[in-house]
């Protein structure tokens, strides 16, 4: 049966943009907003989502569900959807599009298929639709055709064969470089500021690492906002690399960096409220200040 109705959990920054693109390409896009924040409700409304009362209603109406969440919520949401599928007898296809390890996607597959739903391992590389090039949805599993039907509807779908875990694996490798490098940038710049050599290091970067410095200036001031969401992603990457025979320590360290950034004053920003004029120097000053607070030993009782 052709895919006509797509459910998306959740209509956050990526999810609502994907939903908007699919709706503009003729699909009925639904979600369940019960218990969600006012911001999420607003994003869903602006993107033209149709809100349904419950997960049971959602899985009964949808042909395909896209799970687009923070990694920490992937397994719990899969269980909630599986319970709804079991209760309704739905013939849902569940595509987990989250930044999780191949091991975690295997757990989600077991949860979903044991309830009677079909499963697609998927991952997203690229920004939300409407902000440049279309995001790439990598897909693997026994039957990825339902997700492939969305190709060209604001997203690009790239099938990777029948083995569940392959789509998640490419995301773990890709984000290990991109978001891992961003964490390294923060660590380097904070160390230079704490050691009093920021000016000299910047001059050297201008001379010998100008491309890297340009990426720091454009990217680092905006890392605090998504940092809390990326902690779990770094932990999933760390587990993936250890499972693959490498080391988990690079990305455990990156998780620590994002944990620090999530405690800064800038972490409360979102794309609608971000200060686009904040400089790299102002950003690092705040990061170092918070790092210094975190490093202070507890005061001894008098």
3-state secondary structure of 124: strand
User: What mean pLDDT value characterizes the chain?
Assistant: 95
pLDDT of residue 27: 97
pLDDT at 296: 56
Tens digit of pLDDT for each residue in 219-241?
Answer: 999 999 999 999 999 999 999 99
Say how far apart CA 123 and CA 126 lie, in whole Å: 10
pTM (two decimals): 0.93
Residues of the chain falling short of pLDDT 50: 302
Compute the distance between CA of residue 71 and CA of residue 101 in angstroms, rounded to an integer: 9
Structure confidence at residue 297 (pLDDT): 54
165 conformational bin, left if phi > 0, alpha if psi -120 to 50, beta if neither: left
The conformational region for residue 161 under phi > 0 = left, psi -120 to 50 = alpha, else beta, is left
Helix (H) or strand (E) holding 29, with range, is strand 28-31
């Amino acid at each position: 049966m052709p895919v006509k109705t797509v459910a998306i959990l959740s209509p956050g920054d990526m999810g609502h943009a994907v939903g908007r693109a699919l709706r503009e390409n003729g699909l009925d896009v639904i979600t369940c907003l019960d218990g969600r924040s006012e911001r999420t409700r607003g994003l869903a409304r602006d993107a033209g989502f149709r809100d349904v009362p419950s997960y049971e209603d959602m899985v009964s109406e949808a042909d395909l569900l896209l799970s687009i969440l923070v990694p920490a919520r992937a397994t719990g949401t899969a269980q909630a959807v599986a319970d709804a599928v079991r209760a309704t007898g739905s013939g849902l296809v569940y595509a987990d599009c989250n930044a999780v390890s191949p091991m975690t996607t295997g757990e989600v597959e077991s949860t979903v298929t044991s309830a009677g739903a079909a499963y697609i391992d998927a991952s997203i590389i690229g920004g939300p639709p409407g902000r440049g090039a279309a995001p790439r949805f990598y897909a693997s599993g026994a039957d990825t055709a339902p997700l492939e039907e969305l190709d060209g509807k604001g997203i690009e779908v790239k099938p990777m064969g029948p083995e569940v875990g392959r789509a998640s694996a490419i995301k773990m490798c890709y984000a290990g470089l991109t978001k891992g490098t961003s964490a390294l940038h923060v660590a380097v710049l904070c160390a230079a500021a704490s050691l009093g050599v920021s000016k000299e290091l910047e001059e050297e970067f201008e001379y010998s690492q100008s491309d890297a410095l340009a990426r720091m200036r454009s990217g680092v001031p905006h890392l605090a906002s998504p940092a809390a969401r990326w902690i779990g992603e770094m932990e999933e990457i760390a587990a993936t690399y250890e499972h693959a025979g490498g080391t988990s320590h690079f990305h455990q360290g990156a998780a620590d960096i994002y944990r620090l950034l999530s405690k800064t004053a800038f972490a409360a920003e979102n794309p609608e409220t971000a200060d686009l004029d904040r400089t790299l120097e102002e950003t690092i000053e705040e990061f170092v200040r918070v790092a210094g607070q975190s490093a202070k030993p507890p005061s001894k009782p008098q």
